[in-house]
Structure 1
Amino acid sequence: MAEPGRPLGTIDAPFDAPFVVPGPSGVAIRDRLKELTAEDEKVLHAVGELLGRLASGDLKARCADGNSHCTNRWAVRKRDLTAESSSRWAGSITKATHDQWALARRCQLAHIHNLQAGVRMLRHRLSQPIGEPGTKRAPGGYRSAHEWFHKPRRLHTLQARLEQERADHQAGIVHVVRGGKRLLNQRHHLEKAQLTEAEWRQRWEAERWFLAADGESGKRYGNETIRLTPDGQIAIKLPAPLAHLANAAHGRYVLTSRVAFKHRGTGWRDRVCANRAVAYRIHLDAARGRWYLTASWQRPAVETIPLQAARAQGMIGVDTNADHFAAWQIDRHGNPVGDPHRFFYDLSGTAGHRDAQLRHALTRLLYWAQRCGVAAIAIEDLDFAQEKTREKHGRRKRFRQLVSGIPAGRLKARLVSMAAEFGLAIVAVDPAYTSRWGAQHWHKPMAAPRRRTTRHDAASIAIGRRALGHPIRRRTTPPPHHQSDGAGHRTVQADRGLRGRDETRRPVTDRAHDARARTGNTPRTGDTQRTRANQCIQNRSGCAQCRAAGPSPTPDH
């Protein structure tokens, strides 16, 4: 997708080469725990509350260690947790703590980079005169003196935040909220969240519980802490303080509910029968009052097919937009096949609704690609991290909202995971000027009386052709068999090695001037520029007035 209202420039650097996206590295499936008794829910509440309290204390200790964390400190923490629970629960808690601390650390570094980008942009725009127009590389000055007057305050605010974040990063300080910062802030806006204090408290406590266990290969059914048999029976190893609640041997509690994974259940059953590692997590959806169990495991790295093999049967070019996918089938020669397809989705509403809409649109896209018989789908390697900043686009809220509405990262991750199940590869291409050049070269030619073509459909053709290694510009008429212009204007296809092969062909005079500048052939002294006044001198065949006046007199020598 291209930013509207910007002139089309010349690409000075070569495009990034298309590449096949690596396959998914993990699998997660979920099923609901139905028909739980009151005793089952009581035990789950007690285990989750106890382990959640231990997990909170361990995370606090890890954050206090900061950069001084070492193996000895980890061993001390695990030993203390083992005395209050068990060795396996202590290992799961400490691993989850390390993962959460590392995630907070990465988010902190990303926030520092965003603040640095904002400070640089504000300094640049403040250094420009008021009303200075921008370029395609950087924006210009601010529109008015009133806007310029308020931006230094914004700059000082970002600088103060940046200094604080840098100090925290150097000291190893991270800020983590178990249960989620968003849910924590809802406590102060209960009316807006449409929650009572009791309902919020129930959700907050449920989010802070801990009922997760990592798998271990070689152990019975791949997990000794939360054991799930192939027929769906769930047995939980109780912590030492709750051992009196066990209803089975060896301090275990067996739930009455049975699990039957509808999706990817065969793959999960093959793993547990082979005693391969499977991680489980039990959690409560307090809003619905339902218990769920999630099983996850790592899968071996999927070897992607070579790029040439992915291009052998053509591709499906997909243009990602804020409300739909525009797709068109492209054969291996770069020609559009059939009619364009559009897969709409609605990204408004809750996160669950947005995720379901995206999955539904991708499912229809993958089924259509499977019917077309292609081996790969071409998408843009989009990254809007630097395009959504407030400091760069300022008042252009509509464009910022439009860019923010495109699910670039979530789309790529989910499409790669779902396409692997269909046996399809994903080819990512450089997104530079695909929408502009697609609309310029393919929008009008692909329109028909019975087919309405949009610029997004034309962009999907451009994406597919770039993934196949073809230039976006359509193949033009070859040169005639003789040198005269009797066959019309002679045009040829640009060579693949040229950087500007997809751009509009410049006039012949501009190309001649550039060639003269490269070779150093400057006009001789005394040469005059051709104008209407001296047309008789510059035109060897003479103008119409000279021909009407007759031959010119012979000069004297």
Structure 2
Amino acid sequence: MGELREVVAPFVVPGLSGVAICTRLKGLTAGDEKVLRLVGDLLGSLASRDLKARCAAGLEHDSERWAERKRTLTQESSSRWAGSVTKAAHDQWALARRGRLAHIQSLQAGIETIEHRLSRPIGDKGTKQAPGGYRSRQEWFAKSRRLRVLEDRLQTARAEREAGVVRVVRGGKRLLNTRHNLDAAGLTEEQWRARWEAGRRFLQADGESGKSYGNETIRVTGDGEVSIKLPAPLAPLANAPHGRYVLTGRVAFAHRGEQWRDRVTANRAVAYRIHEDVGRSRWYLTASWTLPPVQMVPLEAARAGGLVGVDTNADHLAAWRLDQHGNPVGAPLRFGYDLSGTAGHRDAQVRHALIRLLHWAKRHSLAVAVEDLDFQAEKTREKHGRRKRFRKLISGMPTSRLRARLVSMAAELGITIVAVDPAYTSKWGAQHWQKPLTTNTRKTTRHDAAAVAIGRRALGHPIRRRTAPPRTHRSDGCGHRTVQAESVAPGREGNRPRIPGPRTRSVRAGRGENAVDQNAQHRSGRSAEHEFWHQDSLPLSL
């Protein structure tokens, strides 16, 4: 039997570090859209050139080269636009570096799995802790060739990472590859070209505290007026002083509108991004800003009133409320969602399930315990072989989206999120809790039992249920005595109160009155057996 991996202690998830809200730019004229496209195309070409320069610099890039890049762009736009372009290019290069590292880790996991299975005899079934050998000699040979391919890819990826080489596509790799499969995507060349150009435009600017309305480049006033500082080559298109262009339409933020208005009124930094949805022929404005760090609720305070354990699955959230001692309370809960269809539909389904869960937790003043899931190392085909349905299942689980949505939505409602290690929660939950929680009127699923296991781990209790002593050794005779109470629970071993009224056959009158006082019972080894012994005198005449 393999060794169990160490379980990480539960922790309170930090709150939000930033906020982003989006609204539609309505009432734009044809002239407004033309100016937005011209500005976006010009800045997009500058962003592409700057990203190329940043990628060419690699690991040798420093502050001097950054300043040189900014000076070059300032001549063709403005200093503020140049600062936004260079920062976006550096962030994209850093993201590509993290993606390269994740790719290397995935290749390493695949190579280790193949090497292990190649070392096992053909047809070996393996164990639950480690996979066995391959099914046939042909599969063994094919995987040995794939091993060499992965080793070559790993060597190339490591060399590129050490050299600081990254591979990025402005506009997105998926949209780029769609150009070669227009029929499958249901697009014409003109439609694809419009999406490609819209994806490569650059219309975003970082905010700056102390400036008018928190942003000098893309300015949005408190009453919703949007104006843009035009780059130098497009300055003749300005319709306002100081080379600015004011859009005809006004904007209003329905979500967090008061917070945004308070920031712009106080001239605090707000970053903006303008983008076009070609499919809907609409323009959108996104505002974002950072939040100061807040004091997190201590873990003990989150555990004080109990919590609700949540198990994440491919089509639903299984939840169960637990008290502070780790006992399931009430009935299990299920919050379903459908992840088929478009990305917008999937996102709406996730948000709807989460808001129902959080509203229920808010009504009962409970914290939420979830697993700190990460399936990146579990999605490779080397990990699960021919189990395509299972690989598709775990690939479809929206773990990252759920985690991001849950943290942001819980912060709005003031609900504490406790993350636990996901190791063995489903297995041990089914082993120790599925059968005991199943009744004639309630069928407890494996996911419900996993929710109980998650909640107990968040509360600091072991997942395994505390077993009762043998039937004849219980202090209540053959009656049942709860064994789930914590050691600090008051009165857990106290005398049972005398309740007037008719007695039942299971508890006779006076039974259990002194069940705790072991000295009052005539049992072997107790002090009642070792009291002073005195023999009464007997008459000799008898």
TM-score (norm 1): 0.83
Please give the alpha-carbon distance, in whole angstroms, between the structure 2 residues aligned to 1:490 and 1:251. 81
Partner of 1:227, secondary structure, is strand
Once residues 369 and 434 of structure 2 are traced to their aligned partners in structure 1, the CA distance between those partners, rounded to angstroms, is 19
Q: Could you tell me how far apart the structure 2 residues matched to 1:491 and 1:368 are? A: 28
**Deviation larger for 320-329 or 450-459:** 450-459
Code of the residue aligned with 1:116 in structure 2: it is Q
The CA distance in 2 between the partners of 1:474 and 1:125, in whole Å, is 36
Question: What's the offset of the Cα at 1:42?
Answer: 0.8
SS state of the match for residue 376, structure 2?
A: coil
1:383 is aligned to 374
Distance 2:485 2:414 in 1: 35
Q: 1:411 aligns with which of 389, 399, 402?
A: 402
Q: What does residue range 353-372 of structure 1 map to in structure 2 within 5 Å?
A: 353-372=345-364
User: Which deviates more from structure 2 when the two are superposed, residues 403-412 or residues 50-59?
Assistant: 403-412
- Cα–Cα, structure 1 residues 81 and 267, in superposed 2: closer, same or farther, change >3 Å? same
Which amino acid in the other structure matches residue 223 of structure 1?
Answer: N
Distance in 1 (CA, whole Å) between partners of 2:441 and 2:365 is: 25
| Cα deviation code 1:190-214 (max 9, x no counterpart) | 0110000000000000000000000
Secondary structure of the equivalent of 2:331? Answer: strand
Are 2:123 and 1:117 aligned? Answer: no
Aligned residue in 1 for 2:393: 402
Q: Which runs of 5+ in 1 are unaligned?
A: 1-8, 497-557
Q: Gaps spanning 5+ residues in structure 2: where?
A: 488-542
Change (3 A) 1:10 1:134: closer
Q: Does 1:288 align with 2:263?
A: no
- Please give the alpha-carbon distance, in whole angstroms, between the structure 2 residues aligned to 1:91 and 1:370: 43
Question: By how many angstroms is 1:247 displaced?
Answer: 0.7
Q: Residue 270 of structure 1: CA displacement?
A: 1.0
1:348 aligns with 2:340: yes
**Could you tell me which residue of structure 2 aligns to residue 551 of structure 1?**
none
Measured against aligned partners, the alpha-carbon deviations of 1:276-327 in whole angstroms (never above 9, x if no partner) come to 1100000001111110000000101232100110011110110100000011
C-alpha distance in structure 2 between counterparts of 1:333 and 1:26, whole Å: 35
Aligned match of 1:443: 434
* Residue identity matched to 1:360: H
What aligned pairs does 1:432-471 form with structure 2 within 5 A after superposition?
Answer: 432-471=423-462
Which of 237, 243, 252 does residue 235 from structure 2 map onto? Answer: 243
The answer to whether the 8 A contact 1:479-1:491 is kept is no
Shift of 1:102: 0.6
For 2:139, the equivalent position in structure 1 comes to 147
8 Å Cα contact 2:370-2:419 kept in structure 1: yes
Q: Write the distance in 2 (CA, Å) between the matches of 1:484 and 1:282.
A: 73
Q: Distance in 1 between matches of 2:5 and 2:178?
A: 48
One of 421, 427, 433 as aligned partner of 2:418: 427
Match of 2:154 among 162, 171, 195: 162
Deviation at 1:390, TM superposition (A): 1.1
Q: CA deviation at 1:472?
A: 2.2
Q: Secondary structure at the match of 2:267?
A: coil
Residue deviations 1:451-471, cap 9 Å, x none? 343221121111111111222
CA separation in 2, counterparts of 1:475 and 1:151? 46
C-alpha contact (below 8 Å) 2:171/2:196 kept by paired residues: yes
For 1:472, the equivalent position in structure 2 comes to: 463
Mean alpha-carbon deviation: is it higher for 95-104 or for 265-274? 265-274
User: Which stretch of the first structure deviates more once superposed, 474-483 or 403-412?
Assistant: 474-483
1:216 aligns with 2:208: yes
How far off is 1:338 after superposition?
A: 2.0
CA RMSD of aligned residues (A): 2.3
Q: Distance in 2 between matches of 1:255 and 1:319?
A: 48
Deviates more, 1:253-262 or 1:425-434: 425-434
Q: Does the 8 Å contact 2:325/2:485 carry over to 1?
A: no
Deviation at 1:135, TM superposition (A): 2.9
User: Is structure 2 residue 45 aligned with structure 1 residue 53?
Assistant: yes
TM-score (norm 2): 0.86
Q: Which residue of 2 aligns with 1:523?
A: none
- Looking at structure 2, the residues matched to 137 and 287 of structure 1 have their Cα atoms a distance apart, in angstroms, of 48
Picking from 323, 341, 345, the partner of 2:315 is 323
Measure how far apart 1:495 and its partner are: 10
Distance 1:46 1:132, change over 3 A: same
Supply the distance in 2 between the matched residues of 1:310 and 1:478 (Cα, whole angstroms).
32
3-state SS of paired residue (1:250): coil
Note the C-alpha offset of 1:487. 4.7
Q: CA deviation at 1:389?
A: 1.4
Matched residue, 1:135: 127
* 2:183 is the counterpart of 1:188: no
CA distance in 1, matches of 2:260, 2:474: 70
Matched residue type, 1:299? L
Q: CA separation in 2, counterparts of 1:330 and 1:493?
A: 12
**Rounded Cα–Cα distance in structure 2 between residues aligned with 1:456 and 1:154:** 36
| Closer, same or farther: CA 288–56 of 1 in aligned 2, 3 Å | same
Amino acid at match of 1:304: M
CA distance in 2, matches of 1:44, 1:493: 65
Q: Which residue identity lines up with residue 95 of structure 1 in the other structure?
A: K
SS at match of 1:292: strand
Deviations 1:313-347 (A, max 9, x none): 11011010000001111121222222221111111
Q: Give 1:491 deviation, angstroms.
A: 11
Return closer, same or farther for 1:168/1:482 CA change in 2, 3 Å cut-off.
closer
Higher mean displacement: 482-491 or 50-59: 482-491
Residue number in structure 2 paired with 1:232:
224
Name the structure 1 match of 2:534: none
Deviation at 1:445, TM superposition (A): 2.8
